[in-house]
């Protein structure tokens, strides 16, 4: 039996679950423990099939709209980590649904910023990707027309506001740092008085994962991002790897997704995971490579993370004791 070829694995750190994702998953699991099944969840709690399937097995029922939830249910209804338009909690209240908001606090921060700008009479730009649930949620915080979406640098060059001296911008939390910096620079060049966030809206987890990929991508033959195709932060990691010169940069939800023909002649492999991807799948993919190669593993770190977001108040231990 011939010896397996060597393969250097470079793990990006940090990778995988962020504090907002942990809080969202824990919200569903805690609700299931406290109230029993079913627990309804509007939209995927986070963009990861493995996570969603695991919660389904425990008794979570995922719906796209509240209209899919039976009338007169007493079961909890959880809003996903991406945030929802204001109309959704209002609809839940009108139906007397018991709702739990698992929106990431960093997304809520963007909602608050947009509301303050609106209150001050500013025209608001939202830098983000149309139809992403986070963007839908942020647009839905304010009346129709109050926020204009900017998706590309070209949009930033051509946007024609009503009053160039009374503007503000906010951003989706899971964007490419570099793409967003380019758009913001264009807006500031065209509109020097535009108001931006005191602290940038792109969240710490998105930033840190992209910085780790920037370190690893130039020094490996290939890089795998563990994540779902509809996960914005995962797609941005793949794009960052490509931009940094990595010739093979792919997204994989599970080991079964790997096209082994593309990974036949590599000597080094970077692995990272989007903020909604569990570490167990990183391990699954490493096991798949270990069947074909002798692995030599090292970790490259870009930042330390110790953020923690508490559960919604009604799910905390002190609430259960009342």
Binding site residues for isopentenyl diphosphate, as ranges? 47, 82, 132, 231-233, 276
Helix (H, G, I), strand (E, B) or coil at 204: helix
**Residue ranges at the known binding site for [4Fe-4S] cluster:** 18, 104, 203
**Residue ranges at the known binding site for dimethylallyl diphosphate:** 47, 82, 132, 231-233, 276
Catalytic residue among 134, 151, 189, 318: 134
Nearest Cα neighbor of 86 from 74, 64, 106, 103 is 103
**Residue ranges at the known binding site:** 18, 47, 82, 104, 132, 173, 203, 231-233, 276
CA atoms within 13 A on the CB side of 236: 25
- How far is it, in rounded angstroms, from Cα 9 to Cα 272? 11
Active-site annotation holds for 134: yes
Alpha helices in the chain (DSSP H): 19-35, 49-58, 87-94, 105-119, 133-139, 153-158, 177-190, 204-216, 232-243, 279-290, 317-321
- How far is it, in rounded angstroms, from Cα 104 to Cα 273? 18
- How far is it, in rounded angstroms, from Cα 162 to Cα 262? 51
Cα–chain center distance at 9? 25
Contacts by 251-254, CB closer than 8 A, 24 or more apart:
251/224, 251/225, 251/227, 252/224, 252/225, 252/226, 252/227, 252/285, 253/48, 253/49, 253/50, 253/226, 253/227, 253/228, 253/229, 253/281, 254/50, 254/281, 254/284, 254/285
Angle at 197 between CA 116 and CA 45, to 5 degrees: 80
Cβ-based neighbours of 127, under 8 Å, separated by 6 or more: 150, 151, 169, 170, 171, 172, 175, 180, 183, 184
Q: Do residues 215 and 168 lie in contact, with contact meaning Cβ atoms separated by under 8 Å?
A: no
Structure tokens at 236: 């941005």
Catalytic residues: 134
């Amino acid at each position: 039996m011939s010896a397996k070829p060597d393969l250097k694995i470079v793990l990006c750190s940090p990778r995988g679950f962020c504090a907002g994702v942990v809080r969202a998953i824990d919200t569903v699991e805690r609700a299931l423990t406290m109230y029993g099944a079913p627990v309804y969840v509007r939209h995927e709690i986070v963009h990861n099939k493995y996570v969603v399937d695991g919660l389904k097995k425990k008794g979570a029922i995922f719906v796209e709209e509240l209209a899919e939830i039976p009338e007169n249910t007493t079961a909890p209804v959880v809003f996903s980590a991406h945030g929802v338009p204001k109309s959704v909690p209002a609809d839940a209240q009108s139906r007397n649904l018991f709702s739990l908001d698992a929106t990431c606090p960093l997304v809520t921060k963007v909602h608050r910023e947009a509301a303050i700008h609106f209150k001050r009479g500013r025209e608001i730009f939202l830098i983000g990707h149309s139809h992403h649930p986070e963007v839908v949620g942020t647009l839905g915080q304010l009346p129709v027309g109050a926020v204009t979406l900017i998706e590309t640098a070209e949009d930033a060059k051509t946007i024609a506001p009503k009053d160039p001296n009374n503007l503000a911008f906010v951003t989706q939390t899971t964007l490419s740092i570099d793409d967003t910096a380019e758009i913001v620079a264009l807006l500031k060049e065209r509109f020097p008085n535009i108001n931006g966030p005191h602290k940038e809206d792109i969240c710490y987890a998105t930033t840190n994962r992209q910085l780790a990929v920037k370190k690893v991508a130039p020094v490996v033959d290939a890089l795998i991002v563990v994540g779902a195709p509809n996960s914005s932060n995962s797609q941005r990691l793949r794009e960052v790897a490509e931009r940094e010169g990595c010739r093979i940069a792919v997204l994989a939800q599970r080991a079964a997704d790997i096209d082994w023909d593309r990974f036949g002649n590599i000597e080094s492999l970077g692995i990272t995971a989007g903020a909604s991807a569990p570490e167990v799948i990183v391990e699954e993919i490493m096991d798949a490579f270990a069947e074909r190669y002798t692995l030599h593993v090292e970790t490259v770190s870009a930042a330390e993370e110790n953020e923690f977001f508490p559960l919604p108040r009604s799910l905390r231990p002190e609430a259960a004791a009342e």
